[in-house]
Amino acid sequence: MTVLPSSLLSMAEDSYYDSFTNVYANASLRIGVIKQIFDIEDEANASKSNIEYDVLVFQQDSNKGVIPTVYRGCVTMDAIGGIADFHEYVKSTPTDGKTKSVKADDGSYVLLLCIDGTSSRGVL
């Protein structure tokens, strides 16, 4: 006698796929605040080839309301221009390291987009 798992006996609800959608179908352009910077020499820098940033984003989670989400290990794209162009800038973190409110935060605001819609591959 074979017993079928209960998950095979019924259809999954739409909410069952929310986690998958949030992680692997994350194609929205978001506005965020830089919370932490990891230089190339930093032990917490995973790639060791680019400066990495932790970015706080307030995002709409389906119909459940707005939630704060931290995208970790984000990298920046090169500035627009050719090989002879030079542009230097520094992104900053909040002076006190805490977010009281979006208006009171003095860290750098950035646009964040996930490569291939994967949440772990954020690009500024």
pLDDT at 42: 93
Answer for the pair 124, 109: CB distance below 8 angstroms, yes or no: no
* Residue ranges of domains in the chain: 23-78+86-123
Q: If the chain, 124 residues long, is cut into consecutive pieces of 10 residues, what is the mean pLDDT of each piece?
A: 62 66 80 90 90 89 79 82 62 68 72 88 89
pTM of this structure: 0.71
State how far Cα 85 lies from the chain centre.
Answer: 29
Which residue from 77, 97, 91, 88 is spatially nearest to 29, judged by alpha carbons?
Answer: 77
pLDDT at 95: 73
